[in-house]
Chain A
Amino acid sequence: MKNIYNVVIAGLGGQGVLKASDILADAAFRAGYDVKKSELHGMSQRGGSVSSDVRFGPQVWSPMVPTGEADVLVVLDETQVEVNRAVLAPNGVLIGPDRLDAAALKNKKSLNVTLLGALSAHLPIASEHWLAAIHANLAPKLHKLNEQSFALGRAAAAVREAAAV
């Protein structure tokens, strides 16, 4: 098994980058991994670039994903792809907003959780932990919408995999 999984989630302030990384870190924690998550707060609500690092595995030391070592880069805003591309490992996977048919998205605000669905296809974390983390990190009235969004992202990733084969 791979030793440490490195994921970077990036976007603009207000898009739910930090919420998405909270859910990912919580899901990995529930799956029994050592987890570290790191980001900078303060300016994040002022519409600027935001990114958050999540690392998990048997034992994680630094909380920050070193440049060129991210297994997956999830980007919520098209303009932030090039800004963050350098974090990706040579064989790393980029999951951008273009992964999804925007029309299928019921609510733009759940783009973050939809992309987590796509991300989930690349990580060894069981669905039950993802769902528990979504429930624990979002208000009850948002659960159903986000469960659907997560499933939508996961299905899109599955279709893409099938197409690649």
Chain B
Amino acid sequence: MSDSPQLLSGDEAIALAARHAGVRLGTGYPGTPSTEILETFDRLGGRAQWSPNEKVALEVGLGAVFGGARTLVTMKHVGLNVAADPLFTAAYTDLAAGLVVVSADDPGMASSQNEQDNRHYARAASLPMLEPMDSQEAYDFTLLAFELSERWHLPVMLRITTRVCHSKTIVRPHDAPVPGEAIGPEPGFRRDIPARVMIPAYAKPAHRRLRQKLTEIAAWNDAEGPNRVFAGHPQVGLIATGIAAMHAREAAPQACLLTIGLTYPLPLETIRTFAAGCERLVVLEEGDPVLLDALRAAGIPAQGKPEQYRFGELTVARVRRILAGDETAEPAPPKGKPPELCQGCSHRGVFEVLRDMNCIVAGDIGCYTLGVLPPFQAMDTCVCMGASIGVGLGLRHVLPEEEARRVVSVIGDSTFVHSGLTGLAEMVYNPPATGHVVLILDNGTTAMTGQQEHPGTGRTLNHDATGRIHFEDLARAMGVKNVHVVDFQAADGTLEGLLKDLLTRSETSLIVARQPCVLAAPKIRFYEKAAADRSTACPSQVVDD
């Protein structure tokens, strides 16, 4: 891990910094645009694990931190909704080692179901938030996040956006560890009940402690925070965060610009001083007017952007329009070819059947969401990870019987592990009068995000063999009445016949439609062969391996 410059994506830069910071464990759940962080961390020799979902990833990370190990937890923006429960109370605890939580937001929804702005979480959970504008800052801020986390003993959020995650820019690493030198605290258990057991008696003082920490961090942010001023003409002063700062610099090189790296708690005195030197102050931020509202609440007069620029990513052209106060309609982006299910993908056959049977399909998040597009148009709802099962049950409860009997919940294998198990418990516990049918599309990988492993594949993040959850066994153990596995390679008409039968019964049913993803299949065969070779190798070969 040398200090020579490298061309890195924001995700890769965070992984490199995590290695340089001596992070002992990285946890997360794959999700565009965050996935490459843990994959790179693993490739660089770090210990990285995919958890079943973001909540578990954060809980495992928190335990590691209580045990004194620097830990990185990564997820996409909607993943933070899942992890919000541990996050809000982890904020009250006093941490023994650095904990950095990465939220990768997706303004413009390149590959997401919403464009929520997770800057709101910093304020809501009372946690410091760093926002890099390029890969260099992604590297620098990751190191800084661990410093701040250990100085104030609280989780620090690193919020990145799609353009920072996936743009490559030059990084000059400056903190590669000296080989053999220990970095960060040494793990070990130290009992500290009031700091970690959040019963009201301990949580009440903890809440006050947290607000006191934020006051101190705000003062630090003013004194030495990662905020930069680019000098320019005082007629227009710009305040920008994240990638918007880059667009601002290009769109208005003559304007003076303040970029804010630690966006919560804000360096309000720094901003006040900057504002006083400008005739007109414009806030440039993607998404919601979070920064603008904060400045106005602090009595700093600032101008924001017209409402139309709340939606989607900012660009140099859009920043120019904002600065010109241009509220005319923007040219429509050219319509490219939309993505589609791959040729040879087993999901195609499933959605043909669902379409031809006129099923009401409660869908879920993954490649198979593409079943909503022509020629299938065989999906009626898609909201969040795991929602297919609950939504399907809700529909069944209220629809007239003939419609209720057409409802099927469709969920992918990784999504099922992420958030489907509790839905299955609900189905067994509150079965609709017409019963229900859940269809797990098991293609043996987290396909949409780039073929990551999960507990249902029986392989770890780096594809080594490990324990495996068998969905059919799980469903039987949970009390689902009819459990079937359909192997698509052998099944012609099998699924249709089975579905027809199960939809007429007033019982709970689960079908696992199993065929490996066509893109992942060669790799899966390779991993399986490697595992088989290892298990038959003699001990000396295992050591060499």
Contacts and interface: CB of A to CB of B under 8 A. Distances in A.
Contacts of B514: none
A47 B250 contact: no
Nearest to B168: A37
Nearest to B336: A49
A107 interface: no
Contacts of A47: 337, 339-340, 342-343
B339 A63 contact: no
B246 A61 contact: yes
B405 interface: no
Contact of B247 (A22, A49, A62): A62
Interface string A38-82: 111111011111010000000011111011000000000001101
Nearest to B519: A45
B163 interface: yes
B317 A66 contact: yes
B277 interface: no
A48 B315 contact: no
Given A12-B337, A47-B337, A62-B247, A36 B168 contact: yes
B163 A41 contact: no
Interface in B57-82: none
Q: How large is the interface on A (under 10, 10 to 19, 20 to 34, 35 or more residues)?
A: 35 or more
Given A63-B246, A79-B337, A41 B111 contact: yes
A13 B339 contact: yes
Given A29-B170, A40-B110, A41-B450, A48 B340 contact: yes
B339 A36 contact: no
Interface in B372-428: none
A83 interface: yes
B301 to A, nearest CB: 27
Given A46-B342, A64-B316, A38 B32 contact: no
Interface string B331-344: 10011111111110
Contact of A62 (B246, B331, B367, B450): B246
B263 to A, nearest CB: 20
Nearest to B166: A41
Contacts of A43: 110-111, 339
Contacts of A80: 336-337
Contact residue range for chain B? Answer: 35 or more
A86 interface: yes
The listed residue with most A CB atoms (<10 A of its CB), out of B246, B336, B343, is B336
Interface in B28-59: 32-33
Interface in B169-192: 169-170
A8 interface: no
Contacts of A115: none
B7 A42 contact: no
Contact of A37 (B32, B167, B335, B336): B167
B448 A42 contact: yes
A35 interface: yes
A36 B247 CA distance: 13
A83 to B, nearest CB: 5
B162 interface: yes
Interface string B309-350: 000000111000000000000010011111111110000000
A34 interface: yes
A16 to B, nearest CB: 15
A80 B32 CA distance: 24
A45 B111 CA distance: 12
Contacts of B246: 61-63
A79 B338 CA distance: 13
B370 interface: yes
B168 A48 contact: no
Contact of A49 (B170, B337, B370): B337
Nearest to B338: A48
A34 B450 CA distance: 29
A41 B336 CA distance: 15
A126 B166 CA distance: 27
A42 B32 contact: yes
B315 A64 contact: yes
A38 B246 CA distance: 13
A25 interface: yes
Closest 9 pairs (CB-CB, A-B)? A49-B336, A42-B111, A46-B339, A48-B339, A42-B32, A63-B167, A61-B250, A40-B110, A38-B167
15 contacts: A25-B168, A35-B170, A40-B111, A41-B166, A42-B111, A42-B448, A46-B342, A49-B338, A61-B246, A62-B249, A63-B169, A66-B315, A67-B317, A80-B336, A80-B337
Given A12-B337, A66-B317, 6 more contacts: A48-B339, A60-B169, A61-B246, A62-B246, A66-B315, A80-B337
Interface of B: 7, 32-33, 110-111, 134, 162-163, 166-170, 243, 246-247, 249-250, 315-317, 331, 334-343, 367, 370, 448-450, 519
